[in-house]
Structure 1
Amino acid sequence: MQLMAIDPEEQLATRAAWLYFVAGLTQAQIGKKLGLNRTRVNRLLAQARDHGLVQINITGRLASCVELEERLRQHYGLDDAVVVPTPPDQDLIPQVIATAAAAALSSRLKDGMSVGVGWGRTLRLSIQSVPRRQLSHLSVVSLLGGLTRGSAMNPHETASHLADLVGAQCYYVAAPALTDTESTRDVLAAQPMLREIFEKGAKVDLAFLSVGELTASCTMTRVGLVSRAEVDDLIRAGAVGDICAHWIDREGRIVDHPLNKRVVALSPERLPDIPCVMIASGGRTKVEALRGVLKGGMCDVIITDEQTAKSILAMDKT
């Protein structure tokens, strides 16, 4: 199944047209929202009309995505939202979201920034699509410990790959993501080196994260961090997924479970203090976790797919 190609120009024209003809914004307001000058906005609106995107209604195939972006922004108080069409093959959702997330991340990277990075398949695919360029005085901080065995989704690999692409200095958490006991975690957390890294992580300008689902075949079980018996126990405790390796419930609260006391990672409770938290994730199994993150105020920019966005919004109607 081939990926559905997303034309950035078509997407921008559709977004501008929806804001102008449906949301009723002025060209100046649209320019401010999209970071464009009025001349560029005017040309996009003309392009939308010329290409038949605007008749009585907006007919572009991304129009429904643009509407969902606006609804997500308004309902959850987000700075931005990017919604891409859901591909027919659910297995392709991470790649489709990753392409959009790479563009969103690249547009925000500036000289002198510090960027915190999580882990997961979607983030790994996203960073593979980030164009290589040299930035000055940029640092990348891994926000959680690593895996004890090799994996393409290892947090260390994700952070180091991004740092290499933009010529940044990289900081790692020199500890496992999950310790064997709470006391081991406490000993590691008390080490000056780790305290320094987590302080850097809490002070980044931008955090680039994903969420994990809670199923018998989730990433945590595949890499050996959590057993299937522990998955069942987490579900009974009210967990719906994880962010920064911490298990949360559908309202975004960290669940009271022994696993959360063994995590070596930045606490999600510190995410609201970071100026921009970007979360890229989607798919049926991620809906409850994403809704929890949004309800918990841990996200400023979401990149997801159309069906996931609809499902998230539908949860708050019930």
Structure 2
Amino acid sequence: MAGNDRGLAARAAWLSFIGGYTQEEIAQRLGLSRVKINRLIAEATEAGLVRVFVEGTAAECVALEDQIAAHWKLDFCSVSPTVDGGLLPLRTLAAAGAHYLHGVLERGEAKVIGVGHGRTLDEIVKYLPRVERPDVKFVSLLGSLTRHAAANPFDVIHRLSEVTGAECYFMPAPFFADSFADKKVLLGQKGLKDVFALAKAAELYIVGIGEIGVHAHMLSTRTTTEKELREVKQAGAVGEVLGRFLDKEGRVVAAELNDRAVAIKLEDIKGKPVIAIAGGADKPLAIMAVLESRLIKGLITDEDTAKAIVDRINAGSKAGETKKSKQNRWRGESHV
């Protein structure tokens, strides 16, 4: 977009979203056609000049939030109406995540923020309004050198730094070392030790959650191989957080890949403010596994994913009641 058009686009977007003017009124004020105004507003949105947050939540979403928060004793759960289809509701999650992070930054709630990996966390930056916070530090929680640029955690915190003016620290190491011996060598490097120390001192952690399956992001970005994912799945894994693969009970499975993760240990952040932003058709089991680990204090997800999680909670409760009823009948018959 040319400089003059960019300025006009910003002005048209301001009059529309902030001023509340109709496109006809904006066209009259700027002396342009309505078609031109429509195009300028669309271009402003596509160029990232417009960041829109909607305050308030639909009643159905509130009910889902309450049930999920109560079941896992979360500090909070945020459920947003799903606005995009497909396996991953990226726009929904990114907008909700940006809204949360913007509030944290505006209120000055954390000076050191640890950031995980994934498409959702990367997309959040596109929805985050510019807010100057040079006193804040963003630090990656895992190795930032990957085979595929789309999975690079360094890019996430680098862009966060551009939007906020905050300091940015990344781990100069691969996400997964080739062997445990290689990992030990890497962890002995002073540069990496300093970043790990800063990560452990973070006041807030924002993480993504990975699924285990054919659509796994780690597989599509070649962060892991099919063989490695098959091995962790055979070990009972259903989800991943910060390079650790968990079973449905939230326990880290016995798999070599877990030992090779160059990332902050889960025990180092347990009990601290850890917020997960995750959703999608493939994610309910993975999200529930991470929630079962009791690592997460807050969850930001979309309505479709929340419904799937609540359906599983309710199905589990009914199964438990049926089993208890059968046991009671058996006890009663045994006394006859």
Q: TM-score range by the shorter chain?
A: 0.7 to 0.9
State the Cα deviation string for residues 220-264 of structure 1 (Å, max 9, x = none): 112212111222221110011211121111122111100111110
| Structure 2 counterpart of 1:270 | 268
Structure 2 distance, partners of 1:7, 1:234, is: 39
| Structure 2 counterpart of 1:291 | 288
SS across alignment from 1:140: strand
Which of 199, 205, 217 aligns to 1:207? It is 205
- Displacement after TM superposition at 1:159 (Å): 0.9
Give the aligned length: 263
| Structure 1 counterpart of 2:238 | 240
1:177-192 equivalences in 2 (<5 Å): 177-192=175-190
1:56-135 equivalences in 2 (<5 Å): 62-87=58-83, 89-91=85-87, 93-109=89-105, 110=108, 113-135=111-133
SS across alignment from 1:175: strand
Cα 1:307/1:111, change in 2 over 3 Å: closer
- Displacement after TM superposition at 1:287 (Å): 0.9
Instruction: Return the letter of the residue paired with 2:129.
Output: P
Q: Is the 8 A contact 1:80 1:302 kept in 2?
A: yes
SS across alignment from 1:208: strand
Cα 1:92/1:144, change in 2 over 3 Å: closer
Cα 1:225/1:103, change in 2 over 3 Å: same
Q: Is the 8 A contact 1:185 1:264 kept in 2?
A: yes
SS across alignment from 1:186: helix
TM-score computed with the length of structure 2 as normaliser = 0.74
Cα 1:172/1:307, change in 2 over 3 Å: same
**What is the CA RMSD across the aligned residues, in angstroms?**
2.0
Find out whether 1:280 has 2:277 as its counterpart. yes
Structure 1 distance, partners of 2:225, 2:135, is: 41
| Structure 2 counterpart of 1:155 | 153
| Structure 2 counterpart of 1:138 | 136
Which of 285, 302, 306 aligns to 2:303? It is 306
Structure 2 distance, partners of 1:227, 1:204, is: 31
| Structure 2 counterpart of 1:40 | none
- Displacement after TM superposition at 1:129 (Å): 0.8
SS across alignment from 1:256: coil
Structure 2 distance, partners of 1:252, 1:197, is: 27
Structure 2 distance, partners of 1:135, 1:87, is: 30
User: Which protein is bigger by CA-based radius of gyration?
Assistant: 2
Instruction: Return the letter of the residue paired with 2:255.
Output: H
Q: Is the 8 A contact 1:111 1:135 kept in 2?
A: no
Q: Is the 8 A contact 2:113 2:138 kept in 1?
A: yes
Q: Is the 8 A contact 2:148 2:222 kept in 1?
A: no
State the Cα deviation string for residues 154-210 of structure 1 (Å, max 9, x = none): 100001111221111111111110111110001111223222211211221111111
Structure 1 distance, partners of 2:283, 2:131, is: 32
Where does structure 1 differ by over 4 angstroms across 4 or more consecutive aligned residues? none
TM-score computed with the length of structure 1 as normaliser = 0.78
Gaps of 5+ in 1: 1-5, 16-61
Q: Is the 8 A contact 2:114 2:205 kept in 1?
A: yes
Cα 1:313/1:268, change in 2 over 3 Å: farther
Structure 2 distance, partners of 1:122, 1:70, is: 23
Structure 1 distance, partners of 2:266, 2:161, is: 23
**Which range moved further: 142-151 or 233-242?**
142-151
Gaps of 5+ in 2: 1-51, 317-336
Cα 1:74/1:168, change in 2 over 3 Å: same
